[in-house]
């Protein structure tokens, strides 16, 4: 009886973690797609609001990958996104992914990758609009991907540090 409860508890915990990851990825996709729709509907290509300044909303498109590399290679960028997403989904089966921060990062990566992939498949290019200083113009999906990568790197660095620390002697 106790074993059955423990099994049920593990299953419920896993479903909760899976649902949380799905919700995060879905939120990123929704925010990304709605923001891009609003930019396309309200700005002309190349238009900036305000026209000058450090932070602007500037409507541009990008037919390549990050910062325009692989320009006009829609198949290559979509195929790469599919491989990355599939790899992340497969990686979800590993124990390290049980950590909440790591799952949050994977949700951001999957949502961001899918958000830009939706653009590539539906528009043939990605809509970018966040224009900050000297940085290339980017979008919400790009933000999610970068934040996800930073969280994974931080998680890996801190987990290695934890493993290297000697365990403290226990008081009897």
How many domains does the chain divide into? 1
Place of tokens 């049980």: 98
Out of 128, 131, 171, 172, pick the active-site residue: 128
- Tell me which of 32, 119, 131, 142 is the catalytic residue: 142
Confirm if 26 and 19 have CB atoms less than 8 A apart: no
172 part of the active site: no
Let me know if residue 170 belongs to a domain: no
* pLDDT single digits (tens) 13-47: 667 777 888 899 999 999 999 999 999 999 999 99
User: Is 128 in the active site?
Assistant: yes
* Inside any domain, residue 172: no
Percent of the chain with pLDDT over 90: 43
38 in any annotated domain: yes
pTM greater than 0.85: no
Q: What is the pLDDT of residue 172?
A: 44
Q: Give me the domain span that covers residue 25.
A: 2-163
Other beta carbons within 10 angstroms of residue 140's beta carbon come to: 23
Residue 16 lies in a domain: yes
Q: Is residue 15 part of a domain?
A: yes
């Amino acid at each position: 009886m106790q074993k059955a409860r423990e099994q049920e508890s593990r299953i419920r915990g896993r479903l909760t973690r899976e649902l949380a990851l799905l919700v995060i990825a879905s939120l990123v996709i929704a925010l990304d797609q709605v923001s891009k729709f609003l930019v396309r509907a309200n700005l002309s290509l190349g238009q900036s609001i305000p026209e000058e300044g450090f932070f602007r909303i500037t409507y541009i498109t990008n037919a390549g990958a990050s910062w325009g590399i692989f320009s006009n290679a829609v198949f290559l960028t979509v195929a790469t996104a599919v491989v990355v997403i599939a790899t992340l989904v497969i990686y979800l089966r590993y124990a390290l992914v049980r950590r909440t921060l790591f799952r949050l990062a994977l949700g951001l990566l999957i949502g961001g990758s899918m958000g830009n992939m939706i653009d590539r498949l539906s528009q043939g290019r990605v809509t970018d609009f966040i224009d900050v200083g000297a940085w290339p113009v980017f979008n919400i999906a790009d933000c999610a991907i970068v934040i996800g990568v930073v969280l994974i790197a931080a998680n890996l660095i801190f987990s290695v540090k934890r493993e290297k620390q000697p365990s403290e002697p226990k008081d009897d």
